[in-house]
Amino acid sequence: MAGQDSNDRIAELLKQACPPAEASPDFKAGLRQQIVRQSAAPGAARPRPFWQQPLVWIPAAATVAVAVVLVVYFAAFHSAGLTILTSEATGIETTTATLNGNLDNLPTTEDVQVSFEWGTDTSYGQETAPKIHSDGGAVQADLSGLEPETTYHYRLKVVDDKGVQYGPDRTFTTGPAPPAVTTAGASSVGAESAILAGSLDGLGSSPRVGVSFQWGTNRSYGHQTRVHGKASTGEFTAEISGLQPDTTYHFRAKADGDGEPVYGADMTFRTGTAPPSVETRPATATGPGSVQLNGRLTSLGTAENVTVWFLWGTAPGGPYTGDAGSQAMTGEGGFTADLGGLEPGAAYYFVACADGDGDPVFGAEKSFVGPTVPPSVATSAPTQVHAGSATVHGVLDGMGTAAQVGVYFEWGLTPEYGSSTTPESRASTGAFNATLSGLLPATTYHFRAVATGHGDVSGADMTLTTGSAPPVQATWYLGQGPSENVSVMYQGDESQPEATLALYSSGQPSSLVWIADQPSAGMLYPAGVWSIRLLVGRVDAGENIYVEIGASDNTGVFLPHGTSTFAGLGDDSTDVYTYEDNITVDPFTVPSGGYVAVRVRTTSVHRAYVQVGGSRSFVRSPAYTEPTAPEVTTSAPADVTQTTATLKGYLDGVGNSGSAVTVHFEWGTSTAYGNRFDVGSLEATGEFMAAIAALEPNTTYHFRAVAEGNGTAYGADLAFTTPP
């Protein structure tokens, strides 16, 4: 079955591919005429053999001799009719063709006149020059001046003494008109490439013509550019590459239409020499005002020796006013040139150059800045560090290559700074400083000195910690009591006395300690200078007075951290003399329960007044208060039922929170409580209570009162049991 299916499929395909074809009517009619004529020709239409025709052969026998002669005659000269074949035309070109025909059975005794009729239809209209033929065989005639792509009819014509006979009509079609193309020339001829140009002058019979170029080192070409289709006349070009430098190349344009391709004339060009190639590399600084220019010869091209050098100047893109480093190179590699005397910070531009055996070539332009030296700067220790201000210091150690250097300070709470002082322009090295203001008290600040010249530099990071702000007012007490107090006013003016402490010893050795009126436990007093003014009178000769700054602890013991000795003051007179001194006080911390304090000791002074002033960083603000928690008591409950009860408490003290005390109860079936009942705020001592519900009968409940103020106070745990 499969085989049958295959056969059926083949039959179907072949019948589809080979449909019935029809000959041209002219050919069919012409050949028929030829067949009919030759069928009717003597000898062609022979009678039946006489032995098959009894009625004929008997009379014929009587004239056998004559018949023999006739038979011989017809066999020799008329055994077959003249056969005129119009054969296929050959040599068909665009405008020329060769017509072919054949004469068979041409009687040897007869000359015939042979020609071809031809034309664009079967009326012909044209005829080749007649020729006389006495022999049969092939007949040819050449036609010229034909129209391209045109079908011509033709037939062989024979004229003998019996008239005119024709072979069958045949046709041929001339070839298409070829395109016309011209080789125009070559342009952009380099060492390895060129652009070829041609012109398509006519399309011929083709709607589109493929154009290209053939090229090579001789007239055999050997290469062809890519074919491009063109639907109209005009110029066309193609770039060829991969050529050998300094070599002659042949080329010609090619146009390919429907027929044979046509070519333009052969032309030649000669490739140029290959130039060297060079790269400009970045310059490298070799010192203040000097650099090394760098370049690289990446190819010598076709030259054996290449001269390389640099051009440089101050204008981008040139003109370059200087050249440097000219040298000959015979191989690829880097080359350099040193430049000096450059202006620091000025922009310079340069290119690497190379010259082989043609025009010089240049690398890409690069630039550099005249080498500079940055300034140098150091950060110094701060001075005048107060609660809200400080003076920071720096030293400009070097100017670098800049004539003017800007200096300033960066400062802030972290090493990222964030603030800076106003820059100051300096023409020479030296110290500089700036006052920072608006600082926060008791705060650590970072700062560093900065210099900007040919480059920005900064000194090391340093820190300073501002002092605490002074209280607005303080009262100093002699010992623990207020009996010998003196009020002190702080005006912010350090020249004013801030405390005047009186000492009366009636000529006996004495030692008194004054303490500030504000607790300052835990307070850190930084290092500072306290100014002391001593007013004394009736001091025995040779006596000394000692003034000490420090702290008293919670037992009244004085702890000195700075001392000034006023020695040899006494002259036994009653006059009052004034002595002044600055006491350098080490940093110290006031112990718990203690006070900052001043102690004055003498041996025999009768009366002395000590005025204390100086740095405003020795007392903190605001005033420090020791915290005091409230006091609370849990009272017995009232109105206990199966499910309800009234809890009671008593606020015994409010402490020193400065605001109301909040009270509540905690309650539950154990001392872990678990429930809370907020009562509210109380501004004074007194009883408070809360009614609780949803209790379980016959159940024991615990509760306690709680007060929250400057600390939390708890009353004692109490319990009650609901009735069953």
Should residue 258 be labelled a site residue for other proteins when binding is judged by CB under 8 A?
Answer: no
Q: Which parts of 341-454 are beta strand (E)?
A: 347-355, 361-362, 366-369, 376-383, 389-398, 405-412, 419-420, 424-426, 430-437, 444-453
Handedness of CA 468, 470, 471, 475 (dihedral sign): positive
Q: Which parts of 454-571 are beta strand (E)?
A: 455-458, 462-465, 473-478, 486-489, 499-504, 510-516, 524-525, 528-537, 545-552, 558-566
Should residue 70 be labelled a site residue for other proteins when binding is judged by CB under 8 A?
Answer: no
Should residue 21 be labelled a site residue for other proteins when binding is judged by CB under 8 A?
Answer: yes
Residue 46 vs 163, nearer CB to other proteins: 46
User: How many Å apart are CA 311 and CA 2, to the nearest integer?
Assistant: 88
Taking a C-beta distance cutoff of 8 angstroms, is the pair 661, 713 a contact?
no
φ and ψ of 187, to 5 deg: -135, 170
Residue 97 vs 547, nearer CB to other proteins: 97
C-alpha 594: how far from chain center:
66
The two three-digit tokens of residue 67, written as one number: 């018949």
- Taking CB under 8 A as the criterion, the residue among 153, 155, 170, 393 binding other proteins is 170
Residue 50 vs 504, nearer CB to other proteins: 50
- Taking CB under 8 A as the criterion, the residue among 2, 4, 5, 14 binding other proteins is 14
3-state secondary structure of 67: helix
Mind giving me the DSSP string for 77-127? HSSSPPEEEEEEEES--SS-EEEEEEEES--TT--EEEEEEEESSTT--EE
Taking a C-beta distance cutoff of 8 angstroms, is the pair 353, 311 a contact?
yes
C-beta of 248: minimal distance to other proteins in Å?
Answer: 25
Cα–Cα distances in Å, from 713 out to 203, 236, 649, 658?
Answer: 116, 107, 12, 16
- Taking CB under 8 A as the criterion, the residue among 61, 69, 231, 347 binding other proteins is 231
C-beta of 337: minimal distance to other proteins in Å?
Answer: 50
Q: Which helix (DSSP H) or strand (DSSP E) does residue 211 occupy? A: strand 209-216
User: How many Å apart are CA 445 and CA 467, to the nearest integer?
Assistant: 12
C-beta of 37: minimal distance to other proteins in Å?
Answer: 10
Should residue 157 be labelled a site residue for other proteins when binding is judged by CB under 8 A?
Answer: no
Residue 21 vs 694, nearer CB to other proteins: 21
What letter represents residue 37's amino acid? Answer: R
- Taking CB under 8 A as the criterion, the residue among 114, 206, 256, 665 binding other proteins is 256
- Taking CB under 8 A as the criterion, the residue among 1, 2, 17, 328 binding other proteins is 17
C-beta of 72: minimal distance to other proteins in Å?
Answer: 19
Site mask for other proteins (CB under 8 A), range 450-469, x = bound: --------------------
357 burial class (0-12, 13-18, 19+ CB within 10 angstroms)? middle
Should residue 228 be labelled a site residue for other proteins when binding is judged by CB under 8 A?
Answer: yes
- Taking CB under 8 A as the criterion, the residue among 25, 71, 88, 463 binding other proteins is 88
- Taking CB under 8 A as the criterion, the residue among 136, 148, 202, 261 binding other proteins is 261
The single-letter DSSP state of residue 570 is: B
Residue 104 vs 456, nearer CB to other proteins: 104
The two three-digit tokens of residue 263, written as one number: 């070519």
Question: Near other proteins by CB under 8 A, which window of 220-228, 551-559, 633-641, 664-672?
Answer: 220-228
What letter represents residue 287's amino acid? Answer: G
Site mask for other proteins (CB under 8 A), range 29-58, x = bound: --xx-xxx-xxx---xxxxx----------
- Taking CB under 8 A as the criterion, the residue among 1, 145, 226, 331 binding other proteins is 226
C-beta of 150: minimal distance to other proteins in Å?
Answer: 15
Question: Near other proteins by CB under 8 A, which window of 83-91, 274-282, 414-422, 662-670?
Answer: 83-91
Taking a C-beta distance cutoff of 8 angstroms, is the pair 391, 381 a contact?
no
C-beta of 359: minimal distance to other proteins in Å?
Answer: 35
User: How many Å apart are CA 663 and CA 686, to the nearest integer?
Assistant: 11
Question: Near other proteins by CB under 8 A, which window of 205-213, 271-279, 331-339, 574-582?
Answer: 205-213
Should residue 11 be labelled a site residue for other proteins when binding is judged by CB under 8 A?
Answer: yes
Return the number of other C-beta atoms located less than 10 Å from residue 571's C-beta: 14
How many residues of this chain bind other proteins (CB under 8 A)?
Answer: 53
Should residue 7 be labelled a site residue for other proteins when binding is judged by CB under 8 A?
Answer: yes
Enumerate binding residues for other proteins (CB under 8 A).
Answer: 6-7, 10-11, 13-24, 27-28, 31-32, 34-36, 38-40, 44-48, 80, 83, 85-89, 168, 170-172, 208, 210, 212, 224, 226-229, 231, 256, 261
